Amino acid sequence: MCVPVCTLWSSPDAPRDLDEPAVRDLPDLAAWTAAMTPELRLGLHGRTETQLLLGEPVEVLEERDGWSRVEASWQRSGTRPRGYPGWVRSAHLASPLTDDGTGRATVTTRSVLCRADDGGELELSCGTALPVEGVDDTDQAGVTVRLPGGRRGQLPRAAVRVGPDGPPPDVDAVLDLARGFLGLRYLWGGTSAWGVDCSGLVHLSWRSHGVPLPRDAYEQADSDLVEPVPLDDVRAGDLYFFARPGERVYHVGFATRPVSADGERWMLHAPEGGELVEDAPLAPHRVGTLVAAGRVRLSG
């Protein structure tokens, strides 16, 4: 991707007139999300699939009238082994960024400003991962990264995780990152600083720390990267999973503390319906659909 955030659509005809800011050659996610009421956000069901970030690779399967059908290889799962499928504006694509072995710098703050060598500035979302050109730990703009189109950019060292020799995944750091989304409004298919859905928040928070959890809640629940945990033994950073009788998991969130003596459970999650990301006790309807808990494996 050559834009900070690219939305993956179910078809080229899926965007509505009001979605025009999201499909511009240079999308304006802030304007797009700010203009939508909760009802208009619900209208994204069946239209948007997920979002892709600057530098994220895809495989192009076909092109049609300014649109490309792609598979997003960083968002693979058991049912989508080649990557999440959908349609993107062809203008949002660029030649792949190569990694020469120095690893990638992954944004671990909600967003960060990247200063390009041509004088431009890009606001990058949490989870954006770009090949490293060089690192200067003494400089506030201490990481030089390669950008699409042959440009270079500067990122603050404190805002990124540099691999492949970066620190190992840490559940407290992941939970702190997720807390940075508190107050952000829910967005169906969202996986960026301008809006997240429930599984997008979990996927993005762990992916930013090097753990490639599946994109969707039901596949996160079934992932080999997630170890089942008894519901009464949860600790901060574990995942709660929700399902209606006879149906697959439809919602996920982070447990933020152990179960209290009176049975109260707290969860950090992105509630559907245009609501804000919150850390709050489980509402009665959540308690009634809570079916499982899991702990992300940090090794092995």
Asked if the model's pLDDT at residue 159 lies above 80, the reply is yes
Give the global pTM. 0.94
Asked if the model's pLDDT at residue 166 lies above 70, the reply is no
Confidence of residue 167 (pLDDT cuts 50, 70, 90): low
pLDDT in tens, 182-235: 999 999 999 999 999 999 999 999 999 989 999 999 999 999 999 999 999 999
% of the chain residues with pLDDT over 70: 96
Confidence of residue 165 (pLDDT cuts 50, 70, 90): low
Higher-confidence residue: 228 or 134?
Answer: 228
Asked if the model's pLDDT at residue 300 lies above 60, the reply is no
Mean of the pLDDT values across residues 52-60? Answer: 95
In DSSP terms, 67 is beta-bridged to 64, 89
Q: In the numeric block, which tokens belong to residue 203?
A: 């996927």
Predicted local distance difference test score (pLDDT) of residue 298: 86
Mean of the pLDDT values across residues 126-140? Answer: 84
For the chain, give the secondary structure using H, E and C: CCCCEEEEECCCCCCCHHHHHHCCCCCCHHHHHHCCCHHHHHCCCCCEEEEEECCCCEEEEEEECCEEEEEEHHHCCCCCCCCEEEEEEHHHCCCCCCCCCCCEEEECCCEEEEEECCCCEEEEECCCEEEEEEECCCCCCCEEEECHHHCEEEECHHHEEECCCCCCCCHHHHHHHHHCCCCCEECCCCEECCEECHHHHHHHHHHCCCCCCCCCHHHHHHCCCEEEECHHHCCCCCEEEECCCCCCCCEEEEECCCCCCCCCCEEEECCCCCCECEEEECCHHHHCCEEEEEEECCCC
Asked if the model's pLDDT at residue 58 lies above 90, the reply is yes
d(CA 144, CA 297): 31
pLDDT in tens, 59-101: 999 999 999 999 999 998 778 888 999 999 999 999 988 877 7
Predicted local distance difference test score (pLDDT) of residue 164: 66
Domains in the chain, ordered, with CATH? 5-92 (no CATH), 104-162 (2.30.30.40), 171-296 (3.90.1720.10)
Predicted local distance difference test score (pLDDT) of residue 217: 96
